[in-house]
Copies of this chain bind each other. A is one copy, B any other.
């Protein structure tokens, strides 16, 4: 194992919460199994966690995970096995999968992720071709990978209600594109299975829907397993009808910021926590950590200057921000060589298949670590999160187990979220590239 030891994660004592999760591991697995009987897991997902020692919570659930290349290569077999189970559950007869990635042709890390995903699917028994939404792509294009291999991107073809690439008519379309810029017509109304479904893209998805479902999941889970749900669930509220440029909705924002900060203070007092509460203000739709602020006082969201307003107004692909999530901030107490580290857990179907730490040397423990242009250092987990050992409370697999539990609660919330939001697809915008107002 070539993964270095992590200062907190691998040597710090376990928190009370982690100990509780480990002691109840068998019952937790049963509870999760019962949940998956009622809710179909998304094909895959990754969950950003924050671990403050006293609290372990998801802060973002990604249904188009882009970091399979960052997982420990020794867990590849685990990914393959989980993908086999997923294919068996969803479409056992599937032979061909068309993988649709993001339109990044120069982001070597992302391209390596696409190559890794394709490899997992091939080993799971799927023929894989990569169909690209790149505008103007008329012929296959080969892009170089950091490992010297090449990745072939092919133009999408539509025949009736089937999506294909030249000479390849797949049974399944696997999206690794979060549809931030809307839903392209070529993807609508396909007769093939689409995984995850179109409404999992940011054209339809809202973080508030996710965290509403997560709140219910966390409360159910906490009740059954005798926990305070707050230990795994960050407070949040949503402000609609925001317009940062016009200063619309500032009062709603300030109101919720102050309400949540005061709710956190009550909890910190209850648990004797000395840290300073903070909230995160972020776009309700969208990804990549654009439009995110760390706020410690309501006054900070009143009277934003032009630069701050512009930063908050637009996320990936020029998508305008009109709905904003105000979420309890969770300090990250995990560090690697004095830098803040945020665990990211990867899942395929209902199975945890690994994860990594997002490590950023220039950010504090109360800041978002997934920021634009961020050069995070991925640090693969040394353990695949499934082997808690109650007889050795401080051994590294135990912390990873706790991560895996909370990440799967978020995945379950995503499953419920997707059930509830299917009907929103019809109202979803087509591809649009709004230009950010200046």
Contacts and interface: CB of A to CB of B under 8 A. Distances in A.
Interface of A: 25-30, 32-34, 36-37, 74-78, 80-82, 84-85, 87-88, 92-93, 95, 122-127, 149, 350-351, 383-388, 391
Top 5 nearest A-B pairs by Cβ distance?
Answer: A29-B125, A77-B384, A77-B386, A30-B125, A80-B386
Most buried by B among A28, A32, A33, A388: A33
Contacts of A149: 391
A33 B122 contact: no
Nearest to A390: B122
A387 B95 contact: no
A259 to B, nearest CB: 39
B78 A29 contact: no
Contacts of A386: 76-77, 80-81, 123
Contacts of A82: 81
A7 B182 CA distance: 56
A209 to B, nearest CB: 27
A391 B30 CA distance: 41
A81 B29 CA distance: 11
Copies per assembly? 2
28 contacts: A25-B122, A25-B123, A26-B122, A26-B123, A26-B125, A29-B124, A29-B126, A30-B95, A30-B125, A30-B126, A33-B87, A33-B88, A33-B92, A33-B125, A36-B88, A74-B74, A75-B77, A76-B386, A76-B387, A77-B78, A77-B384, A77-B386, A80-B386, A81-B81, A81-B85, A123-B386, A123-B387, A123-B388
Nearest to A126: B26
A68 to B, nearest CB: 14
A201 to B, nearest CB: 28
A398 to B, nearest CB: 12
A203 to B, nearest CB: 32
Contacts of A383: 77
B84 A81 contact: no
Nearest to A387: B76
A82 B88 CA distance: 13
Nearest to A404: B77
A392 B84 CA distance: 23
A93 to B, nearest CB: 7
A352 to B, nearest CB: 8
A71 to B, nearest CB: 12
Contacts of A85: 81, 85
Given A75-B77, A123-B386, 7 more contacts: A26-B122, A29-B84, A29-B125, A33-B125, A76-B387, A81-B81, A81-B82
A93 B388 contact: no
Given A32-B125, A74-B74, A387 B80 contact: yes
A3 to B, nearest CB: 13
A77 B400 CA distance: 12
Nearest to A75: B77
Contacts of A28: 125
Contacts of A27: 125
A134 B416 CA distance: 48
